[in-house]
Amino acid sequence: MTAHVGPQRTRVRLDARGGLEPEAIVASLAAHTVPGAERTDVEASSHERLVPTALGPVALRVWFDRDGAEVALGTEDPAAVAAVLASVERWLDLSADLEPVRWALGGDPDLGPCVRARPALRVIGTTDPFQTAVTTVLGQQVSLGAGRTFAGRLVAAFGTPGPAGLVSFPTAEALADQDTEILRATVGLTAMRARTVSALATAVATAHGAGGQSADSTGAEGSARAALSGILPLSRAELLALPGIGPWTADYLEVRYGHRDAFTPGDLVLRRALGGLSAREAAERARAWSPFRAYALTHLWTASAYAVHVPVRPGLGAHGSGPAPLPS
């Protein structure tokens, strides 16, 4: 195993309100790790990535346990530390009160067993909304492995080397400047998929520039500011107006951007988990799960798509305060 020297300049303990499901988080992150830009160590129950900030990318390593996360950052700058920690809390949904979620979903015939098995499961968000949008597009209608391969090629070709041996995911501005044909050939995409990535990058770069308060706040700084906000600077309607982006992509991004009642009725894994329902039937079935449909979706995805039997760091106990009782 290759040893990597990760960030060690600032270490902080972040507790999760009501506990965490480290196995599920690590399994999900491992399934979506972008080669070159991220590293997930299943045995250590840890994940590394670079987080964009106004001062440049900050190396981040997180170790997960049943009470929360231990975080190491490659910076001591107070503003950067505060920004990254806020991003991590939002990314991991650490502040959410899960008791109402458990009570709302625990009695459901489909979700009850999932909630009982993983009562502290949280919805994973993002530390870089543009990266999440692009990797979602790259993963459309292909396997998770193929999507990771495309993302890794994109990072290798257009990313910027950063700290801790990682490469920063390309900014919207960097991808918007690329010729679509070069993008297609370099990453191995279809012509349509390359046009979608290019159109998305152009729209986001334009939004970054329009949101700047001065010439100095556009470009990379605007991109970092948008990343730390946790959302993409485009509305759902603006996303759907882009070529190659349909309802599933928009729905999925709403889940990742923190909309806790967002739902993807057209998702194939979800529909299979519900016994082969149509998208219309899945949407109707999910009405009973509102306003926590993103949590319901995460439970069904975790139970159906991720191998959650991964080790937790030795010496970790049960959830600190224990989950709230489920409805009988």
Phi, psi of 237 (to 5 degrees): -65, -40
Please give the structure tokens belonging to residue 228.
Answer: 């730390």
Q: How confident is the model at residue 211 (pLDDT cuts 50, 70, 90)?
A: low
Set out the domains of the chain in order of their start, with CATH numbers. Answer: 129-252 (1.10.340.30)
Region of residue 31 (left: phi > 0; alpha: psi -120 to 50; beta: else): alpha
Give the pLDDT score at 7. 59
Whether 212 has a pLDDT exceeding 60, the answer reads: no
DSSP collapsed to 3 states, the chain: CCCCCCCCCEEEEEECCCCCCHHHHHHHHHHHCCECCEEEECCCCEEEEEECCCCCCEEEEEEEECCEEEEEECCCCHHHHHHHHHHHHHHHCCCCCCHHHHHHHCCCCCCHHHHHHCCCCCCCCCCCHHHHHHHHHHCCCCCHHHHHHHHHHHHHHHCEECHHHCEECCCHHHHHCCCHHHHHHHHCCCHHHHHHHHHHHHHHHHHHHHHCCCHHHCCHHHHHHHHHHCCCCCCHHHHHCCCCCCHHHHHHHHHHCCCCCCCCCCCHHHHHHCCCCCHHHHHHHHHHHCCCHHHHHHHHHHHHHCCCCCCCCCCCCCCCCCCCCCCC
Give the pLDDT score at 208. 85
Give the pLDDT score at 134. 98
Q: Centre a 10 Å sphere on the Cβ of residue 290 and count the other Cβ atoms it contains.
A: 12
Whether 249 has a pLDDT exceeding 80, the answer reads: yes
Distance CA 145, CA 153 (A): 12
Q: Which has the minimum average pLDDT: 69-73, 107-111, 317-321?
A: 317-321
Does this model's pTM top 0.75? Answer: yes
Residue range 200-227: average pLDDT?
A: 64
Whether 235 has a pLDDT exceeding 70, the answer reads: yes
Residue-averaged pLDDT of the chain: 87
